[in-house]
Structure 1
Amino acid sequence: MELHLLLEAVGYIILIVIGIPGNLTILILFAHIRISTKKLLPIDLILTNLAFVNVITILSEAIPQCLTAFGLHRLFSDVECMIVIFSFFSTRGMSICITSLLSCYQLIIIFPHSSKITIFKNNILKRVFQIISLLWCFNIFIYVWILPYSYSDAESFESENIVDLEYCVIIFPNYSYFMTIGAVRIFRDFLFLILMVIASTFIVLILYRHNRNMKHTLNSSRIQSDSTEGRVAKGVVTMVVMYIFFYGVDNIFWLYTLCILKASPEISDMRTFFTTCYSVFSSVIIILMNKKIKRALKLAIPCIKSQSRENIVSHVQI
């Protein structure tokens, strides 16, 4: 096995081992919170969708790429390739949309209060579910057009408009179709990236102003409240910076793919790896920064240990 393939396989294994348990932990804990409290806050709903999107991204892209690195090429039938490719591309699109929504939501939460802002804030908070649903519809609509052109192998086709993922291929009918899909994707990424950057910039400015004002106040409860909001906001900004880095590299390689027909599979491998990195490490940040999840984990871990002891004792008695 070649060294670069071994390193690629090990890298994907590390991402899978961290990413799937991390995102499933978020989903399970928020499901528990929903069952026990009968409700989820808008930010909880946003983070739940992000964790779900991350899981699908890892399952549909990281695992096939890992198997490919071990020499298992062309893993799926044509129908299975349609499902896997559509799942990956649509959830990748949702990843930037949800992260952008998260940063905009956090900006609305910490924005200084006024009558007009309060009315706008309440209207937005009531419509988070509808906004997420529209984002899903938007990304599904973009990538449903590649379904008929997803195949398991390219040997029987004579076309230069190919995106080779190694385990599957996308064979576009002509160059115009290929460029249209690519341009729409780049435009969507650029639009939501701009929203993300603007929101994060305002968050940083507001946090800076809050920290400066907090030095001149003696209201400890207010300081604690600001500290909590600030911690969450810093976590969101961290996720945005991380997203810009990982998906920025992804888009650079995608532009290269659009300009150079039949780009090498190694380019696709690097794009996929950087995309998967965000799906993995964003879950780590959510777990570390979200107070609800940390509290739920502290409550769950003793219960798990107690259950394990009871199982051991019962087996010994048997």
Structure 2
Amino acid sequence: MQSDELVRGLLYLFLAVVGIPGNCLVIWAFLQAMHTEHQVLPADAIVLHLVSVNLLVVGVRCLLEALATFRLANIFSDAGCKGIIMVYRMARSLSIWLTFVLSTYQCLSIAPPGSRWAEARVAAARHLGAIFLVLWLVNAVISTPSALFSLGWHNGSSLMEHSINVQFCFVRFPDSLSKDANGAMQVVRDVIPMALMATASLIVLIFLYRHSQHVKNFRSSNSNSKQGSLAERRAAKTVVTLVTMYVLFYGVDNGLWVYTLTVEHTMSSSLVSDLRIFFSSLYAAVSPVVIIASNKKVSRNLICKVQEKGSQMVETTLSAA
């Protein structure tokens, strides 16, 4: 195995080792909270959905890339490439749009009661299932062309023109126009939520700054109000952190994607493909770490489970003695 293949395999393996357990832990923590509380808050439902699609991104792409690089398993045939690219691109775009939905909902949550923005937040929470369904359908339609034009690596020698190298697969478009149109559509699909969620996060940051200044000048004696304020600020900071990570990672990914579309013969460059896949999957792998560290509901359920297992081990040891 060459050194570049070893580095590629280790990078994908790192993303899989970090992302798969991390996303699974967050999903388990939210399901445990739903079981004990018998309800799920709209913000928690959005995060749970986001973590689920991030698990698809890491599992379908990074794990399979690592297995194929180390020659442990390889399902990148023509049919395998079509299925993998379809699921990966749909989950990747859903991850982007769900982060946008989360940031927008958090932005609406700071609106004063009785305002139109507060009413919009209530309406969004009421129709959250419909929002999820529309996002799935729209992103499935956008991701379909790339999947239909995907072929396995064994066909690479005949696919030099109008093709994009996605490592173990190739996406061959009928002509240059369809390739450019598909690429432009994907860039627009990513840039629009990027701009909107950055704006929403900026609004949240301004609100947090003004709120902190207000608290310094006026200390409320209501402890419940303080606790609620702290919870809202903690949730807002978590969303802002996730959005910042998104803008950084997917910004690099989209920059490389534009380079792929505009520079001739980039299909033969595996380095560009590796960098794109790595940065587009990095958010899905690292975001659960941020959620576990900042979301009290998730961390509390995980800590309780660890303590419960520790108590069971002590009881087992004592009974055996």
Fold agreement, TM-score > 0.5: yes
Q: Distance in 1 between matches of 2:122 and 2:16?
A: 38
Which amino acid letter does the alignment assign opposite residue 162 of structure 1? S
Unaligned runs of 5+ in 1: none
Structure 2 counterpart of 1:189, one-letter code: D
* TM-score under structure 2 length normalisation: 0.91
Q: Where does residue 195 of structure 1 map in the other structure? A: 196
Q: Note the 1:1-318 alignment, pairs <5 A.
A: 1-70=1-70, 75-153=75-153, 154-155=155-156, 157-220=158-221, 221=223, 222-263=225-266, 264-308=269-313
Report the Cα distance in structure 2 between the residues aligned to 1:12 and 1:310, rounded to whole angstroms.
40
The one-letter amino acid of 1:285's match is V
What is the letter of the counterpart of residue 174 of structure 1? D
Q: Distance in 1 between matches of 2:156 and 2:117?
A: 58
Per-residue CA deviations over 1:21-51 (Å, capped at 9, x if unaligned) read 1100111121222233332111111111111
Aligned partners of 2:121 and 2:63: how far apart in 1?
A: 40
1:53-94 deviations in Å (ceiling 9; x for gaps) = 111101121123323443679642221211111111111101
Q: CA distance change for structure 1 residues 60 and 223 in 2, over 3 Å: closer, same or farther?
A: same
Label 1:8 to 1:312 Cα distance change in 2 as closer, same or farther (>3 A).
farther
Task: Compare 32-41 and 80-89 and name the one that shifted more.
Answer: 32-41
Provide the secondary structure at the position in 2 that maps to 1:218. Answer: coil
TM-score where L is the length of structure 1:
0.92
- Distance (whole Å) between structure 1 residues aligned to residue 265 and residue 110 of structure 2: 47
Q: What runs of 5+ residues in structure 2 fail to find an aligned partner?
A: none
Matched residue type, 1:33: A
In 2, are the aligned partners of 1:242 and 1:278 still within 8 Å (CA)? Answer: yes
- Judge which range, 46-55 or 32-41, deviates more: 32-41
What is the Cα deviation at residue 194 of structure 1?
1.2
> Amino acid of the residue matched to residue 165 of structure 1?
V
CA RMSD of aligned residues (A): 2.1
Identity %, equivalent residues: 33
Q: Is contact 1:86-1:147 (8 Å) kept? A: yes
Deviations 1:174-207 (A, max 9, x none): 1111111111111111111111111001000000
Post-superposition shift, 1:256? 0.7
SS state of the match for residue 163, structure 1?
strand
Q: CA deviation at 1:156?
A: 6.4
Rounded Cα–Cα distance in structure 2 between residues aligned with 1:307 and 1:175: 63
Are the aligned partners of 2:90 and 2:143 in contact in 1 as well (CA < 8 Å)? yes
- C-alpha change, 1:11 and 1:77, in structure 2 (3 Å) is closer
CA contact under 8 A between 1:152 and 1:169: conserved in structure 2?
Answer: yes
Q: Compared with structure 1, are the counterparts of its residues 13 and 73 closer, same or farther at alpha carbon in structure 2 (3 Å cutoff)?
A: closer
CA offset at residue 125 of structure 1?
Answer: 1.7
**Contact 2:151–2:172 (CA under 8 A) maintained in structure 1:** yes
Deviates more, 1:224-233 or 1:88-97: 224-233
1:197-231 CA distances to partner (integer Å, 9 max, x unpaired)? 11001000000000000012221422332222111
Q: Which amino acid aligns with 2:9?
A: A
Conserved 8 A contact 1:161-1:261: no
Return the alpha-carbon distance in structure 1 between the equivalents of residues 175 and 246 of structure 2: 32
Return the alpha-carbon distance in structure 1 between the equivalents of residues 23 and 119 of structure 2.
Answer: 34
CA contact (8 A) 1:54 1:95 kept: yes
CA distance in 1 between counterparts of 2:260 and 2:2 reads: 25
User: Letter of the aligned partner of 1:183 in structure 2?
Assistant: A
The alpha-carbon deviation at position 108 of structure 1 amounts to 0.8
Aligned length: 316
